[in-house]
Chain A
């Protein structure tokens, strides 16, 4: 690590000139400034987590988790949103995991230098596409032709966001699987596909799962791609993919804009659940990979 460079002290001459003293002061000033900047970066995180936790916990109630919004008037809970999120992210994961992992396998195991680079580049570009644009794209292919907002379109747009994340992590992990493992397997007469499926991928499985979990956490919190696809709904929708479905982020967005305090509080409650889920996954993943990252 570069930070380990030993600091060689400034050679002290008999008299320390004014210029030397100034240099020392400037040095110290910027060190403190840099420390201050680093602390400033963490303050928003603390502020967000603290407020969401405080406001969220006081808004939690059995009703929030078990009841859908009232059909008329104010009240009810977020059950439709919670069930919807689980289904949408579930289906998106089912679609994105095979595609993402296989694409990562292709880039690392089969792709030539050029096609590998093209696909990797495409995945990077896809990561940079604003999620609302993904929403418009899926709207044009899965909502517009059927004249009906539907949950399936929502799942597809989440999958589009998950695929590049899973693909890139898979690829990064497979890259560090030693070539000798592949050679050993091939030398035993094992066909390439079995070598990949039962030697290479299992070796990198922990890392691939990490990527999948991060992608799930990301999809769980995505709002923009769902606005014009799954749309959101006040009704509990279980398994009807051709109709609108609610999701936790959509619920937060809608309820935050209502002029009723009860509904705002519900938004805080759901935001707390969502934040808890997302941060737990991220912390777990980090502790799993701690040794690898720190090394």
Chain B
């Protein structure tokens, strides 16, 4: 502090200060603009990179094309778009009810000495590198799923096409489970914030009418927090769609559109991860970049929608 006080004491320090001020302000403004430049740069470079593919095939035929054939140089994105939507869909179905109930438990039911460490542990899942989760997925989770859930379901419902076997472990379902594990922390922590922001008076009014805890949660808290919770789920969806490594390692990297829950498949991100390095520079690389652009557009749009929804109920959320 003493250093500070001496800084402006000398005569002339004022003008020098102003000059330095301008430099400092300029540097920090430039840094802030770096952030904007990166996001704009990502959009522009991906658009430029994918032009060749879109020119060759047209946007709609590229998106709906089902062939990906480097030999004939024909590329279509549909199998990967379907794989992405299905794996993320499975993840949402599995994760959403569990995550919302957990958020309710943490903010409405649990005593503080339980809620604080439990919240920490759940958020810790988000910190695990996805390649480590993928490694666990290949060697621990998929053999487990193959022997239990998949074997049972195929055994009982195997005659229904979407549950047709064989249960391989590795495939769409495993990818959905892995993604569910990875998006639970996002949905829990954002929903918890949203639920916490519901005014206590809402709850007190219900309690005063003699309602049970559960009635208070379902009739006073959830309706007020609904759009924010939807935002939390969409934020989770955005994470699931873009998740790369763990999915790449357990989904099986097949070429075709999956017809069964246990089929091997490929997502946009896993297609890029597995083939980008071997792709011939030119139409094939351009098509992969076009896949990246589709992914970028979907995830950014979902993120914006989600943040607006959460803002409405809880104010700006921090980094997830």
Contacts and interface: CB of A to CB of B under 8 A. Distances in A.
A271 B168 CA distance: 25
Contacts of B116: 294
Contacts of B231: none
Contacts of B152: none
Given A126-B38, A160-B38, A189-B14, A252 B181 contact: no
A133 B42 contact: yes
Contacts of B138: 256
A228 B292 CA distance: 13
Contact of B304 (A125, A189, A249, A271): A125
A217 B127 contact: yes
B212 interface: yes
A128 interface: yes
Nearest to B177: A44
A262 to B, nearest CB: 14
B32 interface: yes
A185 B238 contact: no
B24 A130 contact: no
A136 B110 CA distance: 44
A25 to B, nearest CB: 10
Interface centre among A2, A131, A141, A195 (most CB of B within 10 A): A2
Nearest to A141: B45
A282 B140 contact: no
A252 B35 CA distance: 31
B157 interface: no
A100 B38 CA distance: 13
B233 to A, nearest CB: 15
A257 B98 CA distance: 32
A48 B137 CA distance: 9
B107 interface: yes
A27 B215 contact: yes
Given A3-B107, A125-B303, A256-B135, A132 B244 contact: yes
A213 to B, nearest CB: 11
Interface string A2-33: 11010110110000000000011011001101
A123 B35 contact: yes
Interface string A92-116: 0000001111110111011100010
Interface string A118-145: 1110111111111111101101110010
Contacts of B33: 119
Nearest to A267: B135
Contact of A223 (B21, B212, B245): B245
B42 A129 contact: yes
A182 B11 CA distance: 22
B272 A132 contact: yes
Interface stretch (B52-60, B65-73, B74-82, B117-125): B117-125
B148 interface: no
A253 B274 CA distance: 11
Interface residues of A, number: 113
A286 B316 CA distance: 22
A34 interface: yes
B140 A1 contact: no
Interface stretch (A35-43, A61-69, A71-79): A35-43
B84 to A, nearest CB: 11
Contact of A164 (B35, B46, B121): B35
A130 B135 contact: no
A280 to B, nearest CB: 11
A225 B272 CA distance: 11
Residue picked from A38, A40, A257, most chain B C-beta under 10 Å:
A38
Interface in A248-281: 249, 252-253, 256-257, 264, 267-268, 271, 274-275, 278-279
A184 to B, nearest CB: 9
B98 A37 contact: yes
Contacts of A55: 139
A189 B210 contact: no
B58 to A, nearest CB: 22
A275 B136 CA distance: 12
A35 B109 contact: yes
B244 A2 contact: no
27 contacts: A3-B110, A8-B210, A24-B212, A27-B213, A31-B109, A35-B105, A37-B97, A99-B34, A101-B31, A102-B31, A122-B36, A128-B239, A133-B242, A140-B45, A190-B5, A190-B7, A191-B8, A191-B14, A191-B18, A192-B25, A193-B21, A195-B4, A220-B129, A223-B129, A224-B245, A224-B273, A253-B134
Interface of B: 1, 3-5, 7-9, 13-14, 16-18, 20-21, 23-25, 27-36, 38-39, 41-42, 45-46, 48-49, 97-99, 101-102, 104-112, 115-116, 118, 120-122, 124-125, 127-136, 138-140, 181, 184-185, 188, 195-196, 198, 200, 203-204, 207-208, 210, 212-215, 217, 238-239, 241-245, 249, 269, 272-273, 276-277, 281, 288-289, 292, 295-296, 299-300, 302-304, 307, 316, 318-320
Given A34-B105, A37-B102, A41-B122, 7 more contacts: A26-B212, A165-B319, A188-B4, A191-B17, A197-B24, A199-B1, A264-B139
